Structure 1
């Protein structure tokens, strides 16, 4: 079983304008929220941990997770608003975000509200702005420090400067959590935003030396690369006609974790021991899953049957 931790919100897509009306399309989302649903759709048992509002939008978030088969029992409910993430797509389908969430429920989780975990929780995923804003960031770091020696830890920074504008803060968070995680997935955009023109292999080597076992850098249409104790592996991305890229990185992460579960590699030592052939299969599975999400609007994650017998 997986435990996914982080924010839960509504993505509000900005549509066309007619007369004095602006058309909006609101959908449940948030990077960790998407990862949880992605895992469930790929046939994995998953629970979600986030503060969720007691308002009408919070109720809809809970119903959406339940409908997808995600366990929401770890989620505390707060008398606070639900975060709204406004999204405008450019001509290439690339999203641009603005967040409205000061004091919102998904930022309010404290260390005192962390659940005790059953032995069947084999892996924890954290990421995005819940790892950078307080008090939830400190709560999640406490969880990772408590559980690191007992379960696989996965991390995706998923930087959102319009939520936490300090690059210094994101940089510190990325270095700290990469040192606590066993699997780190980061987009090339986030990598260079945080570290400038640093060589990707040099950063991967630094994080591996700090304790990570597998580092993955994704590059959208240009594929992905992975580094572990054995070496580096690269894969190409499938060629598709993209509708938009919303949720692509979340799909990639969910698919990697699902593949590791299916191949019985949810152990730090197993990540370090994966050879080039095993890493190629892992990255190819995740890239094909992400391509399916890109082929339809929003974070509409694929189901396991759409990917065939790929493991």
Structure 2
């Protein structure tokens, strides 16, 4: 049995701008960065799981249906009698802007984490986004992350920072610094890196993280493509031109794509990840770009299926 990827964090009903009878309005879509990653992985035929909590309300039912339709497992999910997180999206800027409404939400109040035995089928745990900023769940995720770091499974992180949602910036920065120093795989956008480490070059940031536990650092650069670093090499993949409908979920789709590329090549274990070569890095980054480009051509975080990506499985090094 192939080891699965467990994506952990929030699920958000994204209200995306949409014209309604000639007037401005919003269309609800399933979203949330870790949720998007899990669904995109499932559509790429990767054994995928999502955790840790969803609401029992009607939106929670829709989230569950979305996971089932995308072939995502739910063994690490609990349903709580609490509301779902709602997010309103603005597309008036280069990067989407969000306003979240999550007081008492199921994915914010969950604190239970799986034990080591339950995680036996999992090869990688993926963390990130607002789940790491919302208590009490954020502390639970931090505990799980640090417990797993350096153990039998890999841990990856995409901070996916939503600065407007952070209430205690000092504590949040300290948490991210701690987690980034312990991650095996780091994926971060250029915009998030600038917020986290103003003025620090991409090369310098990658080099610093690779002096810690990290074996693979990926920094996305929008229209300028994406670069990746290991301890021995650097690789790059250009952006793929597409007719953009919106960029909601594009970063999450990229994350799923490059993790799927690593999974296809049996590199997602502490024993096999090693120090990827430049060709290996470029190959898996290209996988991510293919998935992200296809997502940008659709409305909302609607990642493609593997069968819709000719050549995805043949990208080798």
Tell me the residue number matched to 1:44. Answer: 46
Tell me the residue number matched to 1:136. Answer: 137
Q: Does 1:158 align with 2:160?
A: yes
Q: Which SS does the other structure have where 1:271 is aligned? A: coil
Q: Which of 12, 16, 20 is the equivalent residue of 2:15? A: 12
Tell me the residue number matched to 2:5. Answer: 2
Q: Which SS does the other structure have where 1:217 is aligned? A: strand
Q: Which of 185, 192, 215 is the equivalent residue of 2:194? A: 192
Tell me the residue number matched to 2:180. Answer: 178
Deviates more, 1:215-224 or 1:129-138: 129-138
How far is 1:120 from its partner? Answer: 2.0
The question of whether the paired residues in 2 share the 8 Å contact of 1:213 and 1:268 is answered with: no
How far is 1:303 from its partner? Answer: 1.1
C-alpha spacing 1:235/1:68, structure 2 compared with 1 (3 Å): closer
Q: Which SS does the other structure have where 2:231 is aligned? A: coil
Distance 2:113 2:196 in 1: 31
The question of whether the paired residues in 2 share the 8 Å contact of 1:8 and 1:106 is answered with: yes
Tell me the residue number matched to 2:127. Answer: 126
Question: How do 1:70-81 residues align onto structure 2 when only pairs under 5 Å count?
Answer: 70-81=72-83
Runs (4+) off by over 6 Å: none
**Count of aligned pairs:** 308
Question: How do 1:88-103 residues align onto structure 2 when only pairs under 5 Å count?
Answer: 88-90=90-92, 94-103=95-104
How far is 1:249 from its partner? Answer: 0.7
Q: Deviations over 1:162-219 (max 9, x none)?
A: 2224443332222111122100000000000111111221111111112111110001
Q: Point out where structure 1 has 5 or more consecutive residues left out of the alignment.
A: none
The question of whether the paired residues in 1 share the 8 Å contact of 2:152 and 2:270 is answered with: no
Q: Which SS does the other structure have where 2:211 is aligned? A: helix
Q: Point out where structure 2 has 5 or more consecutive residues left out of the alignment.
A: none
Q: Does 1:258 align with 2:260?
A: yes
Distance 2:57 2:194 in 1: 38
Q: Deviations over 1:142-161 (max 9, x none)?
A: 21222221101111000012
TM-score (norm 1): 0.93
How far is 1:117 from its partner? Answer: 2.5
The question of whether the paired residues in 1 share the 8 Å contact of 2:125 and 2:156 is answered with: yes
The question of whether the paired residues in 2 share the 8 Å contact of 1:159 and 1:170 is answered with: no
TM-score (norm 2): 0.91
Q: Which SS does the other structure have where 1:81 is aligned? A: coil
Q: Which of 298, 301, 305 is the equivalent residue of 1:299? A: 301
Q: Which SS does the other structure have where 1:283 is aligned? A: helix
Distance 1:79 1:222 in 2: 44
Distance 2:163 2:275 in 1: 35
Q: Which SS does the other structure have where 1:13 is aligned? A: strand
Q: Which of 224, 230, 255 is the equivalent residue of 1:222? A: 224
Tell me the residue number matched to 2:148. Answer: 147
Q: Which SS does the other structure have where 1:2 is aligned? A: strand
C-alpha spacing 1:166/1:192, structure 2 compared with 1 (3 Å): farther
Distance 1:226 1:91 in 2: 26
Tell me the residue number matched to 2:28. Answer: 26
Q: Does 1:114 align with 2:114?
A: yes
The question of whether the paired residues in 2 share the 8 Å contact of 1:132 and 1:169 is answered with: no
C-alpha spacing 1:2/1:78, structure 2 compared with 1 (3 Å): same
